[in-house]
A and B are shown apart, each in its own frame.
Chain A
Amino acid sequence: MLQLVAGVARADHEDSFTVHGFGTLGVARTTSDQVEFVRDISQPRGARSDWDGRVDSVLGLQANWRVTHNLEAVVQGVSRYRYDRSFTPEIAWAYLKYDPTPALSLRAGRLGTEFFMLADSRLVGYSYLTVRPPGDYFWYLPFSSIDGADVLLSLPLGDNVLRGKVFYGISDSSLPLADRQWKIDGSPMVGGYLEYQLASWQMRLSYANIKFRNSLPIAQDFYAVPPALLSPAAVDASLDYLETANTRSHYYSLGVVYDSGPWQLQFMLNHVDQGSNAFESSSAGYVLAGYRIGQVTPFLGYSRVESERRANRMNWAVDRVMADSRSVQATTIVGARWDVARNIALKAQWDGIRGDSSSIFPYRREQPGWSGKLDVFSLTMDFVF
């Protein structure tokens, strides 16, 4: 008997070090050559009317080392098409997690950010229904990790659970803008959420902000404008007006998820209040419903985003920069997930994007003649191991 007990205890220690992975092999194509479609704005180039494997393909590896019962070290490396047009692997996360009790969790290191609900698992296609998180909702969210710390507290209320989290950290990302990169590393982010979990319902209110450290890489372009078109004084005034350094952007969101039996429903709203005149503030939302029939889950969704034009547009050059962050469009999503084998899912999806021709923020390399209307077809195989 003692031997048996010892055997079980040993088995417990065997999984103190684990390596797991996730990935997606995906292709996407659109019905337009006037814009390039990207998964999020961290990608510098995207899909046009030919099948393109860059948009959704990703590979991630994660090692967990349980040092003691309540102390864990986690490192996650991810390779995906990123701001510098390469698939260079990055350390997405590397942190220590300490849980003094199961109700309190402290983490420090490089962490995933949860600006919006489900935002910290955006790359793990196997974990959700759709091919990718609805873009209209997530496009304004290019941040994926911070170097910092977070605290998560869980409280039981009857047999429901109330959760609260706060985080603080420094961004380490870069965003592609035309042929340059805007470094947002060094920008402090702070935020938190309050979440109420019932048997099948989950509701979350969240808030976060980022204070940008750097200016947009646009000064060169402004200095290159002939004085006849824009006087040197106007150039200085423009750059002042479009300053991003030391401005703060605020992210508010509300999410409701219903998950019971064959049903999965999601309802999300957000508002982004941009501190810099260079960006338009925006509001977005989506609804998504899926119903499982055997191993196949068809789903249907609708998302919408609308940004607000600022009244003061100063001059034509400023107007052009401001117009870059405009998005006014709605998307109908129809698709199906097929759980074809253990830990493997195949997905097919159609996105019918209907927007204004001024809606260019979510795309790359827009050409004259862009109508705002675009259909996207996607096929993916998602897996975990």
Chain B
Amino acid sequence: MISHRLRLLLVSFCLLWLPAREALADLVVVVNARCGVAAMTRNEVVNIFFGRYRLFFNGREAQPVDLTDSHPDRARFYSGLVGKDLAEINAYWARLVFSGRVQPPHKVATPDEVLKWISANTCGIGFVELAKADARVRVVYELPQ
């Protein structure tokens, strides 16, 4: 009896949990399919999005695109990639921009614009939900959930 109730509880808990999981679909890093990049390490992704080093291993220049703060995927991306919140990411860029080193990635407002940017730039790189990745792009890195 107790185990039956427990099972019921677990099932209902899973039912509650499922939609939440679905809402937080996997974010992936995608690169223009014509760029010739098949896979990247986490650190290589960090190097490009944080302006540390913006050449792919094949010597081509990465053209990163970011989302604006108002889109929730931006916070999820940086939290999943480096465990930082947006205030920290913006503080990081304040240091680099006002010491004149590197410009932050170009920013757009929606995942559709991210994909447009990537397909318009031969080595465009950005992040979208896995389900949005289409034939124009190649998934090169999956963020840990």
A residues with a Cβ closer than 8 A to B are 4-5, 7-9, 11-12, 15, 20, 22, 60, 62, 64, 66, 72, 74, 76, 93, 95, 97, 101-103, 105, 107, 111-112, 118, 120-121, 123-124, 126-128, 152, 154, 156, 159-161, 197-199, 260-262, 292, 295, 339, 342-343, 345, 384
Bound complex: CA of A182 vs CA of B84, how far in Å?
44
Which residues does chain A contribute within 8 Å of B52, judged by CB atoms?
Answer: 154, 161, 197
Measured between beta carbons, the chain A residues less than 8 angstroms from B86 are 342
| Residue in B closest to A120 when the chains form the complex, CB atoms | B99
Instruction: Contact check, B120 vs A161: say whether CB atoms are below 8 A apart.
Output: no
Which chain A residue lies CB-closest to B60? A102
A339 cross-chain contacts in B, Cβ below 8 A: 85, 87
Distance in angstroms between the alpha carbons of A7 and B116 in the assembled complex: 9
Determine the chain A residues whose CB is within 8 A of the CB of B85 once the complex forms. Answer: 292, 295, 339
In the complex, which of the residues B88, B92, B100, B108 contacts A97, with contact meaning CB atoms closer than 8 Å? B100
| B42 touching A199, Cβ below 8 Å | yes
In the complex, A121→B52 CA distance in Å? 17
Interface string of B82-104 (1 = CB under 8 A from A): 11111110111011011111010
Residues in chain B near residue A156, CB distance under 8 A: 47, 53, 55
Whether A101 contacts B55 in the complex (CB less than 8 A), given A8-B120, A64-B103, comes out as yes
Could you tell me if A8 and B61 are in contact, using CB atoms closer than 8 angstroms?
no
| A384 close to B47 (CB less than 8 A) | no
B113 lies within 8 A of chain A by Cβ: yes
The interface of chain B, by Cβ under 8 A from chain A, is 41-44, 46-47, 52-55, 61-62, 69, 82-88, 90-92, 94-95, 97-101, 103, 106, 108, 113, 116-117, 119-120
In the complex, the chain A residue whose C-beta lies closest to that of B46 is: A199
A112 pairs with B100, CB closer than 8 A:
yes
When chains A and B are docked, how far (Å) is the Cα of A86 from the Cα of B111? 48
Query: Which residues from chain A contact B42 at a C-beta distance below 8 Å?
Result: 199
Among candidates A12, A102, A295, residue contacting B87 with C-beta atoms closer than 8 Å: A295
Given contacts A11-B106, A127-B95, 6 further A-B contacts (CB under 8 A): A8-B113, A9-B120, A121-B95, A128-B91, A159-B41, A159-B43
